[in-house]
Structure 1
């Protein structure tokens, strides 16, 4: 349902496709935004309120088309020069033919209790979803599965020159598993003096941001959040909050390379 690492995986896929000389475009439903589309994301004028946080984040790496109707989104993407369509979060969507299907799983928790929502974290039984998958990317640990090939990966902090060692942080996040973000900060040496967790994709109103800032100042701490959460912040607040970016690092990625090369 969320928190597995689909967005970093999508970013890594479009990066690799760009390196191959392709022109990928991400087709997204724009969850959390108020736009039905189809519309191409323009980060100069669109916000997370318009498009959702994930399209705003991904648009820094490749063109993104927000469309509740994937077919209409695909047509607009092709009109704008795309030669590869990357659908984030579309395993259950049959409206477009999938040349390559990748399932992303959190290696620390696997498939949870193995039950379908609302009894568990799954949108469909594992055997059904995996039967349509060509590759599983297990992030943060290796999950034992019966079915498609699997590779392990990690979400590694992007080296930006930021010195996290000893930084007093009030960390907040509205992602699938915010505790992973807090652990990453601690592993970098930050002193996480307080955490605040919100619902996945939840917009934080400005009065609450002001309260968080007041709390951080009282503890002589800095507000820190994720890239996805930063995309939802009002412009005036983006300079007051430190962002911890992460990138997907796939171990022994020959399988993925072969699958991508085999598409063309």
Structure 2
């Protein structure tokens, strides 16, 4: 997804552009339904935990996968990350490689089979909720409380990969943000048995930037969330620069950012994902914010995982 998210996706009201795009959204839904009908679901000898979303991008899947990996290691399991292989989008995979083994394939089921052959005893499927070729043992859907479901429509009329009714197939929801009863009620309307948890990002190296003015840039699903995280932690953000999700930074753009930072008399800061997409020659001029996800009621969340081990 290497494009700027349209502003009308996150408006509470349905715009004229959304209405114009509705026929395409309906066609895509019909095609997805037909694909699901003809797709064979495959069982595996190891449990599969799927961490997915229905809102396209920026919901915190990758940090949650990393936290689940840590939980499983503490439970004496031998987990691995499973991803569909995209040649261009390797920033998230590179981030996970720092944590543990990762298996990628054009077909996720082949990646799981390869993991099994390498003595992995539980799979963390990063994305793949819409991959019906894989039978999941635990399906976790991520949302960001600020964006929620946007205008509630499916792509391209809105930001959703599926309607909210897809939550009927999920076991848990993890909402990154503050407690929101309105959202909880909407979720329970679709699935009364679903478990809801909340999470928040905890910066790991924020003190390094407390005394600095910063120019912040990000090419992620929701760059505003990164900028707000900095400001919520009393970082003086002088300028915010947005790029498309998974943006591949050319040298000229990095040089431009460095010059902007100098003219602002600031330091440059970006996300850990973005940092992996930066030419190594420029990394010494750019800082990254390391984050960890914290799950409220973590012990209850661990119990949900234990049920499928």
Instruction: Give secondary structure in 1 for the equivalent of 2:225.
Output: helix
Alignment of 1:88-167 (within 5 A): 88-127=126-165, 129-142=166-179, 143-144=183-184, 145-146=187-188, 147=191, 148-158=194-204, 160=205, 162-167=207-212
Q: How far did 1:149 drift?
A: 1.3
**Which residue does the alignment assign to 1:171?**
216
Could you say which structure has the greater relative contact order, defined with CA pairs below 8 angstroms and 6 or more residues apart?
2
Alignment of 1:243-258 (within 5 A): 243-258=288-303
User: Does the CA-based 8 Å contact 2:206-2:233 persist in structure 1?
Assistant: no
Q: How far did 1:92 drift?
A: 0.3
Please give the alpha-carbon distance, in whole angstroms, between the structure 2 residues aligned to 1:177 and 1:138.
Answer: 15
Instruction: Give secondary structure in 2 for the equivalent of 1:162.
Output: helix
**Which residue does the alignment assign to 2:77?**
22
Q: Are 1:204 and 2:204 counterparts?
A: no
User: Does the CA-based 8 Å contact 2:176-2:199 persist in structure 1?
Assistant: yes
Alpha-carbon deviations, 1:53-105, whole Å to 9, x = none? 10001111111112121121112212222111111111100122101000001
- Which structure 2 segments of 5+ residues have no match? 1-55
User: Does the CA-based 8 Å contact 1:106-1:141 persist in structure 2?
Assistant: no
Residues 161 and 229 of structure 1, relative CA distance in 2, 3 Å threshold: closer
Instruction: Give secondary structure in 1 for the equivalent of 2:303.
Output: helix
User: Does the CA-based 8 Å contact 1:141-1:152 persist in structure 2?
Assistant: yes
Please give the alpha-carbon distance, in whole angstroms, between the structure 2 residues aligned to 1:13 and 1:239.
Answer: 31
Q: Are 1:237 and 2:237 counterparts?
A: no
Aligned residues: 245
Q: How far did 1:161 drift?
A: 6.9
Alpha-carbon deviations, 1:113-162, whole Å to 9, x = none? 211111111111111x211100000111233211211011111112x373
Q: How far did 1:177 drift?
A: 0.7
Please give the alpha-carbon distance, in whole angstroms, between the structure 1 residues aligned to 2:149 and 2:302.
Answer: 25
Please give the alpha-carbon distance, in whole angstroms, between the structure 2 residues aligned to 1:19 and 1:136.
Answer: 22
Give TM-score, length-normalised by structure 1.
0.88
Alignment of 1:186-205 (within 5 A): 186-205=231-250
Please give the alpha-carbon distance, in whole angstroms, between the structure 2 residues aligned to 1:101 and 1:255.
Answer: 16
Higher helix share: 2
Q: Are 1:70 and 2:70 counterparts?
A: no
Please give the alpha-carbon distance, in whole angstroms, between the structure 2 residues aligned to 1:205 and 1:162.
Answer: 30
Q: How far did 1:214 drift?
A: 1.1
Q: Are 1:59 and 2:97 counterparts?
A: yes
Instruction: Give secondary structure in 2 for the equivalent of 1:166.
Output: coil
Alignment of 1:15-54 (within 5 A): 15-31=70-86, 33-34=87-88, 52-54=90-92
